[in-house]
Structure 1
Amino acid sequence: ANQEGISLVWVSALSFICACCRNATNWILDITSEIIDQEINPHVDQWEAEGTFPAHKIFKILGSAGFLGVNKPVEYGGLGLDFSYSVAVSEELGNIRCGGIPMAIGVQTDMATPALARFGSAELKEEFLLPSILGDKVACLGVSEVGAGSDVSSILTKAVRKGDEYVINGGKMWTTNGTQADWICLLANTSDAAPHRNKSLICLPMTLPGVHIARKIDKLGMWSSDTAEVFFDDVRVPCKNIIGQEGMGFTYQMLQFQEERLWAVANIVTMMDNIIQETIQYTRQRKIFKQPVLYHQSVNFRLAELQTEVELLRSLLYRATALYIKGNDVTKLASMAKLKGGRLAREVGDSCLQYWGGMGFTSDVLVSRFYRDSRLLSIGGGADEVMLGIICKYMDTLPKK
């Protein structure tokens, strides 16, 4: 490794191994772990305090190692592996000692770029996907709005066609990476058709005239991840910047959501493992009534129960992933995994923080950071209630229209 990250020789060797034998998981995870230990975790506390992290620097290190395009096409800088490798990397990124930085990375790899990689033109991939995989550009995803979060069909941002351009007006809210992003994968209404057939995904450079970062949002958790409110005022973008077919944006975004939800679950299971293990270590040292807190049966039984739940969630994640890479529709399983992941994270965070006592209520320990950060999982990428609605739809338990 050099100051810029992993050497080009090693990257070439790693790419060759990945492409030829498809058995590079341990190699990938070892290098990911090295980057986390050397380039990220030593600085996390500082970045949390500052409310941001140097996305371009970190993404370039990860991109040089090939980890921003694990399941993306080799011809655009990716490793060409299947989605199970992305899940493995996401699990490893769970060892970062905060939630904000892994989330920012996940936006780059599995939230803002899957549709582009799958449906985008060669020209768009060259301009936006290739530099995103290499870490030369930071991406963000523009879906949620003030009045349309989980209800994607209700977005109001419009892209009106005028000649060979679209003129875009509207705004996006809660945009992860928004203050540092070079481009946004923007969902906008491009016609007056029905809500599920009038939307398109557009690659839009954030440097265009009329793009305004209204503010950096102050949040309950995910402090080191910059989150922006963005406005678009007569922003002109070429029509060729549409991903795939016009009017298919809603469908493409629903497909992106599946990878986002599985990625998020993979990330949180490792975080929960770490919180449980750190709680075991702390409660073994902390004494109450002359014996370690850990040795109280109510404590060790609860920790055993939580660890069991984490393992069950991991099994669901692996099953959904295995089916997904075979081409199956895993919408129901991905929704179940995300629903369970968000709720279990709240249980783990709340129970473990309780066992840390007064120390758990400080900002000095990881458990309090996890308690704040993990709460987002039940909201972002589709709230719990939306997951329940999707599951009910697949179970055919909803009222007939």
Structure 2
Amino acid sequence: MRIVSISLILCLYACVPLNPGQVSTGAVNKTLIYNNRVYEPDVKTVQINPTRNNLVELTQSAVLPISQRDKLVLSFDYLYGTMEDFRARIIHCNSDWKPSNFSNLDILNAYNEFRLDQFEQSFNTRVPYIHYTFELPRVKLPGNYLLVIYRGNNLDDLILSARFMIVDNLAMVSPQFGLSSGIIERAQNQQIDFTVDYSNLEVSNPMGEIKVVIRQNRRWDNAIFGLKPSFIKDFEKKLSYEFFNLENNFKGGNEFRFFDLRSVNFPGQNVNDINQDENQITANLMSDKSRKEEAYTFIQDLNGAYIIERVDANNPDTEADYVNVNFFLRAPEQVAGQVFVLGNMNNWEKDKDNRMVYSEEYGGYLGRQLLKQGWYNYVYYLQNSDNNAPYFFEGSFAETENIYEIFIYHRAIGSRGDLLMGYLRINPNSR
């Protein structure tokens, strides 16, 4: 296998080494986006994780029952910074992630502003940072919520926004996972049929009051919104969602690529080499190639997630270092469109920071990410006008193991917003 010295190549398109105070990626638009978003380049590794019996569930979704016996915890790092007066507020959203008309008094028992007063300084890392944690307050209503972090008392000085969901599981979901109804698509797609039992809800107009969202692998960029039931069984108070025109189809994709960056003293799995100097650490991954022509192979992955971990540390939250991770995707020629390296590590954001650059000299695409030590999943994503483009380098298979979540929302006549009244997580191809 041909190994490429990516560190040298990256300099050809002005991706210079990162030094203290030099992580800026240019001007950042601080207009609030009702999505998972970072508004300052020095804010990294944003996660909202549930806790179970005081243990953090690192790869679970930010979804909790309304009883909230467990907790949701936000964590993030502020690179090269000093301790600041960061604050939080919470916004209730409808099923389409637009703000609802519920007031602060409707959703909280406390004033809707919370100081982030739990933080720690990193220890013995080349890249210094402040690690912040924030335990989310209990809310009174089920639904979609956006957590917004900002600086001081300036609501416009945004730091980050992150989605989470609280469910009152009164609507029961019965799924049926199977082959795509499309003959051509059966080898590549996965179809989610299901039934919703709303007998525990007061529903006058099920077609208008109940809304459904389906997402794959905790992604929002390819989630399915706006499905209408194919059958309504008024007497049984059930809705069926069984379609024949691919409305409820997802591309199966492929198992995620991965690399092990839990140590910087020796290369982990799929890491070619690690270089260290006084100010920074650089890891060159093994060169990748297209998998679209290969047969499907099962790999136990994290379905796009990542875990922060350092093998020789007691507390990876503050002892794991930040590493310049260099990606190289071999390609004989440049393809039409833009290529990105994506995963939960960058919220599936198709922006300039995650875009790869083609090098004719080395015959492939090059990219760099600044990542905290841990175990990561990722894919190569092609964006152009072709609907199949995202799977150009990865291929898509009906056999792929994915996680699906079905969200059921109810908005009664006269209500001021959508309430999340049903939720189901399934892993139909689990091994």
Q: Which TM-score tier does this pair reach, normalised by the shorter chain?
A: under 0.3
Structure of larger gyration radius = 2
> Which structure has the highest helix share of the two?
1
> Which structure has the highest strand share of the two?
2
Task: Identify the structure with bigger relative contact order (alpha carbons < 8 Å, sequence gap 6+).
Answer: 2
